[in-house]
Amino acid sequence: MDLKKLGLSALMIAAVSSTTFGTAANAVAKPGSQLINFEQAGTEATRYLVDYIKIDTSNGPGINPTGNEKAGADFLASILKANGIEATVFESAPNRGCVYARLKGNGKKKAVILLSHIDVVPAKGENWLHGPFSGEIHDNELWGRGTLDMKGMGIANLETMLLLKRSGRTLDRDVIFLGTADEEMGGAMGAKWFVDHHPELVKDAEYLLTEGFYIDSADDGKARYWGIDVAEKNLLWLKLTAKGAAGHASMPIANSAPNRLARALQKLVDSPVKPIILPEVRDYFKSISVAEKGQLKAAFADIDAAVKSPETLKSLQKDSIKAAMLQNTYSLTIIKAGYKTNVIPTEATAELDCRLLPTVNPDDFVNEIKGIINDPQVEVTKLDWIKAEPSPFNTECIETIKAVAAKEAPGVPVVPVIIPWFTDSHWFRDLGITSYGFLPFQINQKGIATVHGINERIPLDEFKNGIRRLYLMVEKLCTTK
């Protein structure tokens, strides 16, 4: 990767973009958002995103070199520095690293962190219509791995820093920009590394904003709701071990280890779903019911009643994200037994990836699994348990997002979402920082399917809208009128 070239183009863009506030801003010492030319800011950010996409920061099994996030961190730091914002790159491992910058406020309120991850999941170029690291623009859409997850928001965070800096406004809070490595593989060399090695740089924060949910778009292009990730399902990995006598396969053993395991697994995969309605989930369905029609509207409005009907529950489960909010889940991922076709082995094992709703105790869940299996000869052990506290939905930050949404999208509700997957939020929730996951872009189901899939791209109009929305949220959160 030609970093020098990237750095130079960033500098050139910075020079061009110093007019983002227009001539009116020059006449006023401390302009507010009404004086920002968001069209110009969007164009500037688009050029940054094109260059950022071209830096291949693939992170996944078998990828060598892994991540290469330092190149991304250096790129982001170079733009910050060119715009007069001090930025530091921390190397967590060779070629890997995090970028950190802070706009100082007057200390009236605690800081807010704008967090994004620099790495992306790998992409096989031959399956894409336009190269995943090309940064090409076609039909007003910017193509590339990371445009949605999450280099697009990384650049929106960056542009927010630049606009705040250029505005010269007095901030009530410090605004921290943090770009991390390794999110896609769990964060050991990224967010975890950063909070372990430099907790002093983030621990004064009250809020953190990062990816999570998004503005849900109907197929007709209308926004259904702004979904804010307030909690993520907790991860529990379990191992099932069945033991039995060894023998020659010509003389079957009814209770052999593989047979016991097969029976246990059969019971698990056949076990009916037990819905659990958490208060946040009840609020979520009630809020989004306004955008629905007919049976779905009625079901969402009274989700407790809806899940009692097996038919309605079945239809709700067709939407895997919504279904995941209504239940603990387990997926059978690994099965192992035997080494030779004619030998009955003494041990057979399986692994389950379980995702538990917040408030569910892992030991209670293990007991539930044991109850379903109902065979004391099959041992159930915990391999891993990662838990994060949910963030409340009645904070100044949420009120701020609601206020911006009311102006940007009148009548579109802002709702709490429990997401079934993981982000880096939990590392910061562990430090007591209230964390929200919200991509400020309106995305439909087709768009979401490209995340970790093929042909990931972002409509440029939506990218620019997202920059305006994010800036307005952060400005409102950090400035008094």
- Interface residues with Zn ion (CB under 5 A) are 149-150, 211
Residue that the structure tokens 């950022």 belong to: 52
In the complex with Zn ion, the residue whose CB is nearer, 213 or 300, is 213
Of 237 and 421, which CB lies nearer to Zn ion in the complex structure? 421
Q: Report the residue number, 149 or 475, with the smaller CB distance to Zn ion.
A: 149
Q: How near is the Cβ of 149 to Zn ion at its closest, in Å? A: 4
How would you classify the pairing of strands 141-143 and 175-180? unpaired
Nearer to Zn ion, 149 or 229 (CB): 149
State the minimum distance, in angstroms, from the CB of residue 464 to Zn ion.
21
Give min distance, CB of 388 to Zn ion, in A.
16
Alpha-carbon torsion (445, 450, 454, 455), positive or negative = positive
Shortest Å distance, C-beta 452 to Zn ion: 9
Residue among 101 and 191 whose Cβ is closer to Zn ion: 191
* Cβ nearer to Zn ion, comparing 121 with 278: 121
Between 83 and 391, name the residue whose CB sits nearer to Zn ion: 391
Do the beta carbons of residue 163 and residue 20 sit within 8 Å? Answer: yes
Q: In this chain, which residue has its C-beta nearest to Zn ion? A: 149
DSSP codes, 47-95: HHHHHHHHS--B-STT-SS---HHHHHHHHHHHHHHTT--EEEEEEETT
Minimum CB separation from Zn ion for residue 190, in Å? 11
Query: Which token pair is 116?
Result: 């994004």
Shortest distance (Å) from residue 159 CB to Zn ion: 19
Place of tokens 């007709």: 220
Give least dist CB 120 to Zn ion, A: 8
Long-range contacts of 41-44 (CB under 8 A, 24+ apart): 41/17, 41/159, 41/162, 41/163, 41/464, 41/467, 41/468, 41/471, 42/460, 42/463, 42/464, 42/467, 42/468, 43/464, 44/13, 44/16, 44/17, 44/20, 44/159, 44/162
Pairing of strands 223-232, 414-419: parallel
